[in-house]
Amino acid sequence: GTLGLIICSGAKNVINSCQECKVRRLIYNSSADVVFDGSQDILIGDESFSCPGKFLDVLIDLKFQAEGLIRLANNIDGLVTCVLRPSNAFGPGDTWFVPLLVNLAKSGLGKVCELSQYHFTDNLVLQKLPDAIYHIITDGFSFQFITGSGENMSDFTYAENVAHAHICAAETLDSRIVSVAGKAFFITNLEPMMFWEFVSLILEGLGYQR
């Protein structure tokens, strides 16, 4: 389908172009979701985690396939590669995560949405995880129902930290002092926190009352 053409075929095209143009370094921005299948939380996860047999959705599946292409291209025709896996990226340039929260907060009375550890949407349940948070929008926002403990933890990654990780990866691939070529690395703020608390802080910072 279209996603496959964009993600996997796109990765192949980028690899081929890099090899033809003698580009030395290629870093693929993937997602931490590639090791999460929705069945249970991952605590203190690291790069030793293998990817599950199933994925949360086709987008994550395709990202994992693209990861494989990027890593297989390592050390071929002078190209060295690695993969970065940010978790829940947010910050300047964000066109999805925070804008969606703001749109929900502005959407008026009576709309119900589900906020889960990884997926949330307006009027459509995409993924029901054990600690999903149900949120009723009023004039501002207020959490009305929390299923499970309400303490599900998530990692988040500020956009500038993602950018810094790419710079560090590029410099390390170039120096080859540390072996990162052909490998994948998780990128987070190293500050895991409750998902609902993160959402509350974001919206409060934008002027919405808890």
- Which of the residues are catalytic? 63
Give yes or no for residue 27 having a pLDDT over 60: yes
Those residues whose C-beta lies under 8 Å from the C-beta of residue 48, and which sit 6 or more positions away, are: none
Average pLDDT score over residue span 134-160:
58
96 has a pLDDT exceeding 90: no
In whole angstroms, give the CA distance from residue 201 to residue 205. Answer: 6
Mean pLDDT, the chain, as a whole number?
76
Q: What is the pLDDT, as a whole number, of residue 78?
A: 93
pTM of the entire predicted model: 0.75
Q: Tokens 């980028």 label which residue?
A: 14
Query: Tens of pLDDT along 81-91?
Result: 999 999 989 88
Residue 26 lies in a domain: yes
pLDDT of residue 117: 38
Residues 128 and 200 in one domain: yes
The CATH number of the domain where 50 resides is what?
3.40.50.720
Residue 59 located in a structural domain: yes
42 band by pLDDT with thresholds 50, 70 and 90: low
> Quick one: pLDDT at residue 145?
40
Residue range 44-61: average pLDDT?
Answer: 73
Distance of CA 121 to the CA centre of its chain: 16
Other Cβ atoms closer than 10 A to 87:
20
Going by pLDDT thresholds of 50, 70 and 90, the confidence category of residue 153 is confident
Domain tally, the chain: 2
Same domain membership, residue 73 and residue 7: yes
Tell me which residue range forms the domain holding 52.
2-86
Question: Domain boundary at 60, 86, 112, which?
Answer: 86
pLDDT reported for residue 52:
67
